[in-house]
Chain A
Amino acid sequence: MKFTVSGKLFSTTACLMFALSAPALSFAGDTIKFGIAGPHSGDLASYGLPSAAAAKLVIDKFNANGGIKGKKIEILQEDDVCKPEIATNTATKLVSSGVEVVLGHICSGATIAAMPIYKDANILVMSPSATSDELTYSGKYPNFFRTIAPNAAQSPAMIDFAIDKLGLKKIAIIHDKGDYGKPLAEGAKLHVEKKGKGQVVLFEGITPGAMDYSAIVQKIKESGAEVVVFGGYHPEASKIVSIMKKKRLDTKFVSDDGVKDDTFIKVAGDDAEGVYAAGPQDNSANPLALKAKEEYKAAFNSDPGAFYENAYAATVVMLNAIEKAGGSTKLEDLKKVLQTEKVDTPVGAVSFDQKGDAIGVGFSMYVVEKGKYVVVK
């Protein structure tokens, strides 16, 4: 055992304790332990629960067909409330109870915090929603995969749209200082500079939850920007949009995935009309996506929420990989399958590149028209 090295240095009792405390990790169990981690309570629960539901639906189907190679799949679900410091606890709990693959985490910050723990245990992790570039581009986490496009793809999508499609040059980039919005905004700024066509006239962070954004809206106006590119979530976006309307400012508003949420339209109401947002590519024509949606409706009698399709796809892909690897859950075996095989999922036919990003999953631009997000052709 590894601990014997330190045994010389510790007192004998300590050594005994260490040896005793290594739990017997059960690899040869009669079930495949499938971990689900994400926010399942708290104010961000609406981002995590649909994913957990998706995994359950898919796994129930597999189990109904006799599982994988005769083994049933067992779900272990843990809450991380999207907080990094809790996510490490969550991950430890999952690892120590012997999970073999993990769907999650949902928030980027929590995922980054939890990844080293999974990495040490050599466990495959697939997130339906964590978009931070660091997760795949840094190369630090060879066991990480995701079924959503990274931020690095989202910022250029927003900027290209604003400059090429809308034909606007003067860009104000605003972000919410958060771990999601700020890197997006920085990526956007970088892309404008690289592109050389547009010009960033304003780059600022706002305080999320503040009661009034009229000062920053006045500043946007003063900067003479033709378009506002916003990195952040929908509560701030809807406040800014409605203050812009109040101040009679008709600058175009282009935003991200965090705003491409129906709650944004509900809250901003009429002010939301004409707002552009990048979102996971449009799958409404994909029959598998429709079928997944039907399943959810049948089970819960409501429309699925955020990242449902991505989570559905991730579960399908992971279970398929385990099946193709002959029931093995070893990281190397699974990786080989993931990187070579294309699987049809609700987000399209998916395989993965060396970094862990899904090939063929990208962004589409949407616009609010008559209270609905529609794809910009």
Chain B
Amino acid sequence: MGLLKELKKGVLISLWFVFLTFPVMVIKVDPIARTVVWRWANALYMAVGTFFIYFLVQFFLRKKENRKETNDSKEQTLSFIHRILQDRLQRNILIGVVAVVAVFFPQFLSAYQTNVMTTALMYVVLGLGLNIVVGLAGLLDLGFVAFYAVGAYTYALLNLHFGLGFWAVLPIGGLIAATFGILLGFPVLRLRGDYLAIVTLGFGEIIRLILENWGQFSKGPSGISNISRPGFFGIEFSLQSSIIYTYYLMVLLVLVTIFVVNRLQDSRLGRAWIALREDEIACQAMGIDKRKTKLVAFSLGAFWAGIMGVMFAAKTTFVNPASFTFLESAIILSIVVLGGMGSIVGVLFGALILILMPEYLRALSQYRMLAFGAILVCMMVFRPQGLISNIRRTYTFKKKTTSSLCR
């Protein structure tokens, strides 16, 4: 009985999409030659395509609903990865497998693959940095790329003028970026939510524009080239081994970052951030210094971005302002949200998916970005809490007291 109705709905929806996409998909005009091409075939593809996609989506929604109805118990709703992480043995096995893959990755794959993986790992660290600001402290930052740029230019300029090496600048870059984080943090302390978002976006643009226009300082849009790659006690590497060295360096940095962020999360400060995210006023009432907590979140987030900036400059050996646009901030933010806000494992997965996907979708070259956009939307629609959402530490009373007060 429902089938006919469903079919009718499917047809109506596909007709709607045919109408919607009609001007852009069907008509193609050449204003110079003054010719019009009517591509009716596209309308047909559109109709058939939408029809099938509609039923596919319906099918998945059904399945999701059924699952929800049948087993509502807590165990099942935990995602696969969490179940693994909760079991000590399974977790150790997983970590072991990841470690082996990470260590032997460059052996079995080419330098190109290693390079791509290094980039993805850099975004893991960037994502973890932004996760402190957005995921833990709940401050929406759309200009995160500014700190990335600060780090990259710190290394580029110090290397250019004073010949400082990678290892010397790594902490300097992080510290300068952290200082910028505090600089940005001060004026925006009072702002909330989306006002904060637009100011940070503006801040990111200002940094990029200054780098672009202040030619004497930053060499302008032409950028700075020939930046030294990371060294190792004065040993010069060939390109090939340098790529592999950078890869292992990045693995190490990711490990350090995960360790630090994990410890931070469980610290007094981390709990203060989460409290701030949940309810600012209640948080203040509990005696948490809002100012200090926010500033520390900004500066710590910026610190990691700065370090990655140094890494970026060392890896590509070239920086110019065009690498630090708003889109970059948007991608880092997408990593955090897609992975699951506040979740370290989530950010890890988010970064690997979002950075590796466009790289391997390159075969589809033209449709790459189209698919990227569509996947972002689908992900959010079907899993709005992110791939691997953070599990809150919970404590359940065994006694049968009603907990309506604690809601």
Interface residues of A (CB under 8 A from B): 2-3, 5-6, 9, 13-14, 17-18, 20-23, 40-41, 79, 83-85, 88-89, 92-93, 95-97, 108-109, 112-113, 115-117, 120-121, 132, 134, 140, 177-179, 182-183, 186, 205, 266
A83 touches B322 (CB 8 A): yes
The 6 closest A-B pairs by CB, nearest first: A93-B112, A113-B318, A96-B111, A120-B239, A179-B221, A41-B365
User: Taking the nearest CB of chain B, how far is it from the CB of A194, in angstroms?
Assistant: 19
User: Which residue of chain B lies nearest to A186 when distances are taken between CB atoms in the complex?
Assistant: B215
User: Taking the nearest CB of chain B, how far is it from the CB of A97, in angstroms?
Assistant: 7
User: Taking the nearest CB of chain B, how far is it from the CB of A150, in angstroms?
Assistant: 13
Give me 14 A-to-B residue pairs in the complex whose CB atoms sit less than 8 angstroms apart, sorted by A's number.
A5-B235, A6-B241, A9-B235, A17-B103, A22-B240, A41-B366, A79-B362, A79-B365, A95-B239, A96-B240, A113-B225, A116-B318, A134-B222, A179-B223
A18 CA / B232 CA spacing, docked (Å)? 14
B318 touches A84 (CB 8 A): yes
B221 touches A182 (CB 8 A): yes
B178: interface (CB < 8 Å) = no
Interface residues of B in 98-152 (CB under 8 A from A): 103-104, 106-107, 110-112, 115-116, 119
B221 touches A177 (CB 8 A): yes
Main SS class of interface, B? helix
A23 CA / B110 CA spacing, docked (Å)? 8
User: Taking the nearest CB of chain B, how far is it from the CB of A79, in angstroms?
Assistant: 6
Interface residues of B (CB under 8 A from A): 31-32, 103-104, 106-107, 110-112, 115-116, 119, 212-213, 215, 220-223, 225-226, 232-233, 235, 237-241, 243-244, 248, 312, 315-318, 320, 322-323, 359, 362, 365-366, 368
The residues of B that contact A96 with a CB separation of less than 8 Å are 110-112, 240
A134 touches B225 (CB 8 A): yes
Interface centre among B221, B243, B312 (most CB of A within 10 A): B221
- Other-chain contact of B226, A2, A116, A182, A183 (Cβ < 8 Å): A116
B239 touches A117 (CB 8 A): yes
Q: How many A-B residue pairs have CB under 8 A?
A: 123
Interface centre among A20, A112, A186 (most CB of B within 10 A): A112
B320 touches A179 (CB 8 A): yes
A89 CA / B241 CA spacing, docked (Å)? 15
The residues of A that contact B318 with a CB separation of less than 8 Å are 84, 88, 112-113, 116
A88 CA / B32 CA spacing, docked (Å)? 38
B112 touches A92 (CB 8 A): yes
User: Taking the nearest CB of chain B, how far is it from the CB of A117, in angstroms?
Assistant: 6
A5 CA / B202 CA spacing, docked (Å)? 48
User: Taking the nearest CB of chain B, how far is it from the CB of A26, in angstroms?
Assistant: 13
The residues of B that contact A205 with a CB separation of less than 8 Å are 213
A112 CA / B219 CA spacing, docked (Å)? 14
A6 CA / B107 CA spacing, docked (Å)? 17
The residues of A that contact B323 with a CB separation of less than 8 Å are 83-85
B248 touches A179 (CB 8 A): no
The residues of A that contact B320 with a CB separation of less than 8 Å are 84, 109, 179
- Other-chain contact of A88, B107, B212, B316 (Cβ < 8 Å): B316
User: Taking the nearest CB of chain B, how far is it from the CB of A367, in angstroms?
Assistant: 19
- Other-chain contact of B365, A18, A40, A92 (Cβ < 8 Å): A40
A92 touches B243 (CB 8 A): yes
User: Which residue of chain A lies nearest to B239 when distances are taken between CB atoms in the complex?
Assistant: A120
